[in-house]
Structure 1
Amino acid sequence: MSGPVDLVEVWRGDILESVHQGHAVVCGPDGEVIEAWGDAEAVIFPRSSCKMIQALPLIESGAADAHGLGVAQLALSCASHQGAHIHTDRVQVWLDTLGLSDSDFRCGPQWPGDIPARNEIIRAHAAPYQIHNNCSGKHAGFLTLNRHLGGAADYELLDHPVQQAGKAAFEDVTGETSPGYGIDGCSAPNFATSVHGLARAMSFFATAHDRSDARSKAAVRLRDAMTAFPELVAGETRACTDLMRAMDGRVAIKTGAEAVFVAIIPEKRMGVALKITDGSTRASEAAIAAILVKLGVLDADHPATKARMVPEIRNWRGTLCGHIKPVAALL
């Protein structure tokens, strides 16, 4: 048992100003720890980084195929999107196909992260809907599964068949009995696991093409959907989208609130999970980029890499004041 370790440094001039600590794990094809920083067994909430796990029952149950879901919809089921039209228009069509409306969601309204979409709402003197919630794609998946299972309307409740199916899948691929859960920002339960367990789950996705069982086949479809539509998984200017594009669809990555990040690397048959303990997104983006560079799947000189791994710090006048960088151990 160990504590968090230094992972990302913040320099102002030539003086170290701040340090972000955390835990990170790289798992091999059998779920074994290949490399770790900090405490591999630290218990965390994966938050939105585990959406591809939550979407497994959508495919396994037959609901996705019964309702004719395409690759783009599967990508949205794993997404924390910006609420741009590219996202919400697709989710709206999905709802229409189900014969449902915005009021059937249980995720709550959220202002879009996409500035043009946000400004459009403001100019109309309107308010955001639940479809603008960054998790509306995941919840459209929940609604589809719920329709297939014939469950009650409150699909977000812990004892609902939709969430119980998600919990069973989560505990299976992490290889751990979850020690508890919290309620996520979108109202669904979020089950805790260790950083190792989360990395083990990502290695399950990374090696899923080696197997022919229903869960593995579902994992292949979801990870391939993410890499086929990186712009749907997050959105323009977002790290997930930019870094997946930089890796030409070879790696699926996903962030979660409070500075969690995961990566699925099929060509290496590896899974990665990390957590920055202070919840800093700038640090989780720098750390995941550094690990992907270290593993040889991300080009250190790519502009998207530099923007996340070693970003400059500039003041309001544009003056260069400092920089952020991963610690030497990550490099």
Structure 2
Amino acid sequence: MDFSLPSAPAVGAVIPSRYEATSMCYHENGKRLFVAYEAGSLLQAIDCMSGSAAKPALKCEDERIHCLEATHHEECVLIAGKGSPTVPSNQRSAITYWSLYDNKILRKFRGHTDQITKISMNPADDTFLSSSKDRTVRLWSAQSAGSLAELKLPGDRTSKDPLAAFDCTGLVFAVTAKMAENQGQYLHLYDARNYGVGAFAELKIKRDDIEKALQSFVSVSPDQLATFSHADFTSLQFNTSGNKILAGTDRGMSFVMDGFEGTIQGVFVSTSQRPAVSCFSSDDKTIMVGNEDGSITCWDVETGSMVKRLDGHPDPVQCIASNPKFAQFASASTQTALWTW
């Protein structure tokens, strides 16, 4: 993906919606894009080849979809939502395995007792990870309802909700959680084939390291420095090479970290104070960051310099994702745009 080309990327298609998107992901074959809308409990499947909705948006009653993940089947997704306010909170936290082909729920995965924060599908098999505000991470198989394993955060060492994500091979997964007393973030790496023995790498991203990185990579005031260094992680993603990790925060800031040592290699600040909206390009060379004014800033991963600013959305960018197979990425607010080369 060459962002230096004057006319690339350009919007190839725009798919409108009544609601703001809350979650978005591509299928692994790159031909389908799935977009979820919390306000309407809707899910839309977009044909990335034609740039049009593959079928009318489907409604999952009362789910208020917050998390969305594609499975290996092109017509099936995993979703989690905030649930109906009329249902007790400990019953709203199931993960739904949904067939879009015939609009049927294939399975419910129950076990979490609070809102799901992330779902991550293993690219190698039918297992997936979920993390929750109940301070646990669970491993599941799409073929059975019960969880295969559960990791509980130690209350004396951590203060915030975990996030978990598989790398591009499915052989490694990462779990991150905030340290107690705002001291930084834990980043633990696990062997997916032997997770029972514990993490093979227990890394720490200390608050001092975050502050030093901020001072090195971006120009911030003392007040901004304190605000950003106390930010909570809200998203977690490996690049396709598996050697870097992108973490978004609730203060509109994203970090790029070494995937083996956890050292901060870049900091990217958006114009938004909402949770950061960012992703790697499929060739790992660029990070796209969505902004409050509807623009997208594109940053070179190695140099940290901005290579392009894209304007197109009339509203704040809510979601962004990179196509794993084709020269395309998608961004969404109330409109979903497909950017192509």
Task: Give the TM-score normalised by structure 2.
Answer: 0.27
Looking at both structures, which has the greater relative contact order when contacts are Cα pairs under 8 Å and sequence separation is at least 6? 1
Which has more strand, going by share of residues?
A: 2
Task: Give the TM-score normalised by structure 1.
Answer: 0.28
